[in-house]
Amino acid sequence: MKKTLTVTVLAATLLTSCVSKKKYVALEEDYNNTRSNLQQTQVEKEKLEERLNAIEQRVADYNSRINSLTEENDQKLEMNELTAMSNANKRKMRETLRKVDPAKLADAETLEDSINLAVAYNLESQISSGSSEDVDITVDKTVVMINVSDKLLFRSGSHRVSRDAYPLLEKLAEVINSEPAMEVMVEGHTDSQTMVENSYIQDNWELSVRRSTAIVRLLQDRFNVDPEKLIAAGRSSYKPVADNDTRENRALNRRTRIVILPNLDKFLALLDSEQSAAQPVDSSNN
């Protein structure tokens, strides 16, 4: 009986040990499979991340290329009879031309005409606000000519600048100072009437020169324009814009012409319409 009991216990022990080992082997196999799957998933994840990074880099490269092409396109120059003009400046010109008097715009037949109109419009907005009747701005290629009547600048027969002209000259100085490469010539013009006898001014030559130098000195001393940019000249009565046969025509001939001589880049910079408009100027004389 004792021997039988011992054999039974031993058999039960062996059976129990055998079942536990199978479970262990199964668990170990599951563990190894899970670990293998995890490693494979990790490898696949890293590959996907590499592909994603590569895609993101390609997108970034494409965006950079697009931006580069846009910048290059804005700087791309179109040659024509007047100048080389960037697309960015052409956009500015079109924006300005929408504000120009349609009657003036109708006379523009070429790109040169359109550029001149745009530059003249912006300068007039910046300089002559409130005194347009006494200021006339024209553009010939890259030369800007601003004609200012003596009614605004001087008293009759005098070369002393009226204070009514200070706001206009201040705005002109801002335009000149905004572009380092500009040169400005100030020309004095008179009518054909001779000077009053015994006047301290000898003749119209002297009057025209004194008037131009008075403007130049104000631009330099009061409005901080670099004197190296300035040229003073007098034309006396020998460059009239009308016959000196009526009072009205003589008034037209009594004028100061301010000639802005920018280089090409600075000329196109005058298309910029972001500068603040001039304050209204009282054109009445003292």
Mean pLDDT value of segment 95-114: 77
Mean pLDDT value of segment 263-282: 56
Question: In the chain, what percentage of residues exceed pLDDT 90?
Answer: 20
The pLDDT score that the predictor gives to residue 242 is 93
The pLDDT score that the predictor gives to residue 129 is 56
Residues 159-196: pLDDT tens digits? 899 888 898 899 889 888 887 778 899 999 999 987 76
Q: Is the pLDDT of residue 8 over 70?
A: no
How far, in Å, CA of 94 to CA of 227, rounded? 35
Q: What is the DSSP annotation of 153-179?
A: HB-TT--SBPGGGHHHHHHHHHHHHH-
The pLDDT score that the predictor gives to residue 68 is 59
Residue type, 221: D
Structure tokens at 76: 């791309």
The pLDDT score that the predictor gives to residue 286 is 37
Mean pLDDT value of segment 225-235: 93
The pLDDT score that the predictor gives to residue 100 is 79
Mean pLDDT value of segment 115-127: 76
Q: Which helix (H) or strand (E) holds 150?
A: helix 150-153
